Structure 1
C-alpha cells in the first residue's frame, strides 16, 4: 500500500499526466485545422480524441472511476462500443460499417482531416474504456483490460521502432503518444494491485523489478529493430516479425511481473518474521522500534503480565502455555484500536503502546482488558477450571521523556506493585508516586510488601 507521503505524489503525477493528455489531444486537433497532414494516417481521428479527452479530464480533476457521473459512464460506453465496432469492421469485411460509413466520413471531413482509426488505436480505446467502467466494481478485471491496452500500445511502439523515423501504417503519432500517457496514468492508478506493487515499490526488489521490466521490453525490441534493419524483410514478413518480437517482450514482461510479485511476497514474509513474535503474532522489540519510527503520537504504555504463568507450564506443559499466550494475544488484539500496538515484551509479559490522552483513560482501558482476559482466557486443569488473570502497570509518556523508555520503566514499577498487592489488578505510575509521597500510604505499602507472595509469577 502507498504511504501517506506517497499518495500526494501519486495524485500530482496522475493530474500532470491528465494535463499532458489534454495538451496532446489539443495539439493533434490544432494541427489538423492549421496544417493538415498530407497523409491521413497522421491525422488524429475524432473518436480517440473524444474518448481520450474523458481520461484527461478525469485524471486532471483527480476523480476516480467510482465517482464517475452518469454522463461519463454513458460516454465511456459509447466510445467502447464504437471502438469495438471498428475492430469488427477490420476483422470481418462484410461487417456493417459504422466508423467507416460514408456519411460519417463525409461529416468528419468537413470538420477536419478525417484521419484513419487504426486497429491498434481502436483496440486500446476499447480496452481503456472498459477498464474505466470495470474499475468501479472490480479492480482486478480493470487490470486485465489495462494489460490488454498496453499490448495494443506496444504494438504501435514496435511499428515506430522497426520503421526507424519513417511513420508507416494507419496510426497517428499523436494517438500513440496519448495512448502511452493514458495507459501510464491508469497503471499508476492501479498500482496497489499485487502484480503492479513491485513495479512501484521503493525497495531493493522494486529496483530489480523495474530493471528487469526495462530489459524485458528493450532487449527483444532492440534485437528486432537490428534484425529488420539488416534483413529488410517484405511487408508480410515485417508484420510477422513485429508480432514475434512483440510476443517475446510481452511474455518476458509477464514473467518479470510474476517474479516481482513472488519477490515481494518473500520480502514481506521475511520482514514480518523479523518484526513479529512467531508464537503470538504480536510485535517484537524490533518491530516496535520500526513502528514507533513511523508515528509521532504515542501518549501512554500499558505493561501487563500473566499471573502464575509458571503454574500453567508446570501442570499442563509448555504447549498449553503457548496456547494460552496465543489466546491472550488474540483477546487483547480484538480490544485494541487501529492505532494501538501490542508487543510481546518477554516471556508472559506484553506491552501496549496507546494514544490515550489522559492516564485515567489508560487505566480504564487496562481495567477493561483485565476483565476481558479473566472472562475469556480461562483454562482447565483436569476437570477443574483454572482461572487466568493478569496484572497491569500503566504510565503516560510525560513531557521531557526521551521516547517511551522512561514510561515503560515507570509502568514496570507499577506492574511490580500490582503483583505485590495481590495480582489481577491495575496500578498506574501516577498513583504509585502519589502513594510514595504520602507517609501513611507508604507505610501501608511497605507493610504489604513485607508479606511475601504465595506463588511466583
Structure 2
C-alpha cells in the first residue's frame, strides 16, 4: 500500500499525465486539421481521440463525480464496442463495416479529420476501456486488460524500432504517444496490485525489479533492432520476426514481475516475522516501537497478565499453555478497535496501546476484555476445572511525557496491585496513586514476580 506521503505524489503524477494526454490529443487533432495527410494514414482518428480524452479527463479529475459515473461507463462501453468492431472488420472477411464504412469515413473527412483507425490502436483502445469498466468491480481483471493494452502499445513501439522508417502504415505518432501515456497513468492507478507493487516499491527488491524490467524489455528489443538493421528480412517474414522478438520481451517481463512479486512476499514475510510474536501473531517490542513511530495522539496503556498460568504449563504442558495464549490473543483482537496495538510483552503478559482521552475509558475497555477472557472455557487440570482469568493494570500517558515507558511502569505497578488484591480484576494507576496518597505507599513490585 502507498504510504500517506506517497499518495499526494501519486495523485499529482496521474493528474499531470491526464493533462499531458489531453494536450497530446489536442495537438494531434490540430495537426490533422491544419496539415491533413494525403493518404489518410498517419493521422489521429476521431474514435481513439474521444476514447483517450475520456481517460485524460478522468485522470485529471481527482475524484469522479457520482453524477458522471453512469455517462462515463456508457461512453467507455460504446468506445470499447466500436474498437472491437474495428478489430473484427480487419480480421474477419466479409464482416459488416461500421467504423470503416465508407460513408462514415467520408463524413469524418468532410470535417477535416482524416485518418484510419489502425488495428493496434483499436486493440489498445478496447483493452483500456474494458479495464476502465472492470476496475470498480474487479481490479485483478482490470489489471489483465491493462496488460493486454501494454502488449498492443509495445507492438507499436516494435514497429517503430524494427521497421526503421517513420510511421509507415496506419498508426499515428500521436496515437502511440497517447497510448503510452494512458497505459502509464492506468498502471500508476493500479500500483497497489500484487504484481505491480514491486515496480513502485522504495526497497532493494523494488530497485532490482525495476532494473530487471528495463533489461527484460531492452535486451530482446535492442537485439531485434540490430538484427533488422543488419539482416533486412523480406516483408513476408517481417511481422513474424517482430512478434518473435516481442514475445521474448513479454515473456521475460512476465517472469521478472513474477520474481519481483515473490521477492516482495519474502521481504514482507521477513519483516512480519521481525515485528510479530511467532506464537500469537501479536506485535513484539520491536514491532511496537516501529508501529508507534512519531504518533503523538493521547494514548493509554493496558497491561494484563494471565492468572496462575504457570499451573497450566506445569499440569498440562507447554502445548496447552501455547494454545491458551493464542486464544487470549484472539479474544483481545476481537475486543480492541482498529488502530489499537496488541503486544506480547513477555511470557503470559500482554500490552495494549490505545488512543484514548481518559483513563476511565481505558478502564471500561479493560473490564470488557477481562469479562471476555473470564468467559473462556475452563482448563481441566485433573478432575478439577481451572478457570481462565487475567489481571489488568491501566494507565494514561501524562502530558509532557516522551513515549509510553512511564505509563507502562505505572500500569505494571497497578497490575501487581490487582494480583495482590485477588486477581481477575482491573486496577487503575490513577486510583492506585490516590489510594497511596491516602494510606501510604504500596510495596513496589520487584523482580522476580512472586505472583502469577
What's the TM-score once normalised by structure 2's chain length? 0.95
3-state SS, counterpart of residue 354 of structure 1: strand
3-state SS, counterpart of residue 40 of structure 1: coil
Which residue number in structure 1 is paired with residue 340 of structure 2? Answer: 340
- Going from structure 1 to structure 2, the CA distance change for 1:65 and 1:203 (only over 3 Å counts) comes to farther
Alpha-carbon displacement from aligned partner over 1:79-125 (angstroms, at most 9, x marks no partner): 11111111111112311111111100110001124211110000000
Which residue number in structure 2 is paired with residue 269 of structure 1? Answer: 269
1:55-454 paired onto structure 2 within 5 Å: 55-63=55-63, 69-164=69-164, 166-293=166-293, 295-376=295-376, 378-438=378-438, 441-442=439-440
Alpha-carbon displacement from aligned partner over 1:154-180 (angstroms, at most 9, x marks no partner): 000111122345221210000001101
Which residue number in structure 1 is paired with residue 7 of structure 2? Answer: 7
CA distance in 2, matches of 1:339, 1:119: 51
Asked if structure 1 preserves the Cα contact closer than 8 Å seen for 2:80 and 2:125, the reply is yes
Which residue number in structure 2 is paired with residue 43 of structure 1? Answer: 43
Q: CA deviation at 1:442?
A: 2.5
Q: CA deviation at 1:298?
A: 4.9
Q: CA deviation at 1:377?
A: 5.1
Q: CA deviation at 1:384?
A: 2.9
CA distance in 2, matches of 1:269, 1:292: 20
Q: Bigger shift: 29-38 or 387-396?
A: 29-38
- Going from structure 1 to structure 2, the CA distance change for 1:155 and 1:286 (only over 3 Å counts) comes to same
Q: CA deviation at 1:236?
A: 2.2
CA distance in 1, matches of 2:307, 2:298: 27
CA distance in 2, matches of 1:66, 1:14: 20
Q: Across the two proteins, how many residue pairs are aligned to each other?
A: 449
CA distance in 2, matches of 1:353, 1:139: 35
Which residue number in structure 2 is paired with residue 456 of structure 1? Answer: 451
Asked if structure 2 preserves the Cα contact closer than 8 Å seen for 1:301 and 1:411, the reply is yes
Q: CA deviation at 1:39?
A: 4.8
3-state SS, counterpart of residue 343 of structure 1: strand
Alpha-carbon displacement from aligned partner over 1:19-70 (angstroms, at most 9, x marks no partner): 1111100000011112223452221001100111111111111245998522
3-state SS, counterpart of residue 344 of structure 1: strand
3-state SS, counterpart of residue 375 of structure 2: helix
CA distance in 1, matches of 2:300, 2:63: 39
For structure 2, which runs of at least 5 residues remain unmatched after alignment?
none
3-state SS, counterpart of residue 380 of structure 1: strand
Asked if structure 1 preserves the Cα contact closer than 8 Å seen for 2:80 and 2:127, the reply is yes
Q: Bigger shift: 377-386 or 72-81?
A: 377-386
Q: CA deviation at 1:417?
A: 1.4
3-state SS, counterpart of residue 430 of structure 1: helix
Asked if structure 1 preserves the Cα contact closer than 8 Å seen for 2:58 and 2:64, the reply is yes
CA distance in 2, matches of 1:41, 1:385: 87
Asked if structure 2 preserves the Cα contact closer than 8 Å seen for 1:65 and 1:135, the reply is no
CA distance in 1, matches of 2:35, 2:354: 67
What's the TM-score once normalised by structure 1's chain length? 0.94
Flag as ranges the 4+ runs of structure 1 deviating above 3 A: 63-68
Q: Bigger shift: 31-40 or 180-189?
A: 31-40
Asked if structure 2 preserves the Cα contact closer than 8 Å seen for 1:66 and 1:136, the reply is no
- Going from structure 1 to structure 2, the CA distance change for 1:14 and 1:397 (only over 3 Å counts) comes to same
Alpha-carbon displacement from aligned partner over 1:259-281 (angstroms, at most 9, x marks no partner): 11111111111111111001111
3-state SS, counterpart of residue 42 of structure 1: coil
Asked if structure 2 preserves the Cα contact closer than 8 Å seen for 1:40 and 1:113, the reply is no
CA distance in 2, matches of 1:294, 1:405: 15
CA distance in 2, matches of 1:92, 1:333: 60
Asked if structure 2 preserves the Cα contact closer than 8 Å seen for 1:65 and 1:133, the reply is no
3-state SS, counterpart of residue 305 of structure 2: strand
For structure 1, which runs of at least 5 residues remain unmatched after alignment?
none
Cα RMSD (Å) of the superposition? 1.9
3-state SS, counterpart of residue 440 of structure 2: helix
Asked if structure 2 preserves the Cα contact closer than 8 Å seen for 1:65 and 1:132, the reply is no
